Amino acid sequence: MTQLNHTHNPSATSWLASANGHPDFPIQNLPYAMFAESGKYLSWRAGVAIGDQVLDLAALHAKKLLTGHAAAALDTAAGPSQNVLGLNAFMATGPDTWTALRHALFALLSSDATASTQADVKACLTPQANAVYRLAANVANYTDFYTSIHHARNVGRIARPDNPLTENFQWVPIAYHGRASSVVVSGTNFRRPMGQSMAPGAKAPVYGPCARMDFELELGLFIGQGNALGEPIALANAEQHMFGICLLNDWSARDIQFWEMAPLGPFLGKNFCTSISPWVVTMEALAPYRLPFTRPADEPQPLAYLDSEANRAQGTLDIQLAVEIETAHNRAHKEAATTVSQTSFRHQYWTFAQMVTQHTMGGCNLQSGDLLGSGTISGPTPAQAGAIIELTRGGKEPITLNTGETRSFLLDGDAVTLRGWCEKPGFVRIGFGENRGEILPARP
């Protein structure tokens, strides 16, 4: 696991004024994205967030300011393959290369940089207000986990009141393979899906637009180095394969989902859209916000292959998360959205390292740029629920928004924004930006 180093120093500042005190992108963060300038021919390239700007890595590469391992890392991150694959090639290089480039960029952006260096780097900046984004990597494979015991119990009480928690939940990180082709970047709006559903007490299903549209508050993990087919990743090595984390909304058509899930699990209820934020925060940037992974003594402890001293010591991350709902009324009257939930990833029942290990135990070969969803992130209190089906107890207790409107489930025109950040005494706050999507009417 990444140890603390000078890039986490809370006293470090940048010569770029907007970075100092920025709620998401101070110099201690430096997340990656794929971007282009809006209003121009879309020439995609890798970028790093610093304050309210994007550092264009292709432009920086042309300046030839770096040497050694850092220069080689920049060659890969800014290489021509990014136009097709995004950051996949860079993600595949491994932790030593990721660290070399992070530390070099930190030095170039630091207040200690020379005046000539500052001038060269400043010429490589693009205002984020002028940028558009695509997925940070080519996502060939997407797997969504189910690792919040609070979410599992809340939803289980709705679907299976007598047995809300499945027998295997406390023993194994559960997951299903999702649809990679419908993973989209934040800001991509989508249509309400059509499908079959079975109303309570009905004798036959009906076909029509989803009536129970939901969000799911999740994090997404991008895989860095892959593994060969048939060669599992041991828990002790899992962190070496973890590049970084983004915000993920696993949009869910609950009525379609609940009808189709028996016996094979999610299909049309999940495959119509999954939104992720453009910025990927590296595991190194998140090092100060690790916490011990613990289980109550009276609950099942992980089997040996999912257990280690390192994972118990600092396997969990305290990533703060919030969900906002903005209605058409909010937009028309230029009113603020309603924050309907706030929680932390530290409540999750399994760690990302355990998810990586479980994914490969049967010999599955992960690839650079693969995306793993954490599963809905819910805390122990009602206000910490990560989905509207939990907040409204299956739609029976609608929530009231700041406009006076109520919601049992999401309506057309509603936009959901996820936000995430880390803060801790003695360290600088870093954030993930936002992940936003708006629901458009169904197309029958």
CA angle 281, 285, 288 (to 5 degrees): 130
- Assess whether pLDDT exceeds 90 at residue 156: no
Rounded Cα–Cα distance for residues 13 and 415 (Å): 35
As given in the structure block, the two tokens for residue 228 are 């060969």
- Which residue is associated with the tokens 């406390």? 170
Per this entry, what is the length of the chain? 444
Set out the domains of the chain in order of their start, with CATH numbers: 13-134 (2.30.30.230), 142-440 (3.90.850.10)
Residue 248 main-chain phi, psi, to 5 deg: -140, 130
Confidence category of residue 80, pLDDT binned at 50, 70, 90 = confident
Question: How many CB atoms are located within 10 Å of the residue 320 CB?
Answer: 18
Q: Catalytic site residue 22? A: no
User: Residue 41: its pLDDT value, please?
Assistant: 72
Q: What is the DSSP string of 339-373?
A: EEEEEEGGG-SS-HHHHHHHHHTTS----TT-EEE
Q: Over the stretch 312-368, which tens digit does the pLDDT of each residue have?
A: 999 999 999 999 999 999 999 999 999 999 999 999 999 999 999 999 999 999 999
Q: What angle do CA 152, 144, 247 make, to 5 degrees?
A: 95
For 3-37, write each residue's pLDDT tens digit: 899 999 999 999 999 999 999 999 999 999 999 99
Q: Which of 8, 103, 150, 151 is catalytic?
A: 151
The CA distance from 432 to 247, in Å, is 7
Q: Which pLDDT value is given to residue 421?
A: 98
How far from 208 is each of 191, 276, 280, 438, CA to CA, in Å? 13, 27, 36, 20
| pLDDT > 90? residue 161 | no
Whether residue 422 is predicted with pLDDT greater than 70 in this model: the reply is yes
What does the block give as tokens for 14? 């940048």
What residues are paired with 34 via a beta bridge? 46, 134
Overall average pLDDT of the 136-141 stretch: 96
Residue of 358, 347, 346, 355 lying closest to 374 (CA atoms): 355
CA angle 181, 134, 272 (to 5 degrees): 30
Q: What is the pLDDT of residue 160?
A: 77
Q: Are 275 and 188 in contact (CB under 8 A)?
A: yes
Whether 182 has a pLDDT exceeding 90, the answer reads yes
pLDDT, position 65: 97
For residue 81, pLDDT beyond 70: no
Q: Identify the pLDDT of residue 283.
A: 98
CB atoms within 10 A of CB 411: 15
Q: What is the pLDDT of residue 321?
A: 98
Residue 40 has pLDDT above 80, yes or no: no
Partners of 46 in the β-ladder: 34
- Given this model, what pLDDT does residue 59 score? 96
CA dihedral 301, 305, 309, 315 (to 10 degrees): -80
pLDDT value at position 260?
Answer: 93
Q: What is the mean pLDDT of the chain?
A: 96
pLDDT tens per residue across span 83-110: 667 899 999 999 999 999 999 999 999 9
Region 112-137 average pLDDT: 97
Distance of CA 326 to the CA centre of its chain: 20
pTM reported for the whole predicted model: 0.97
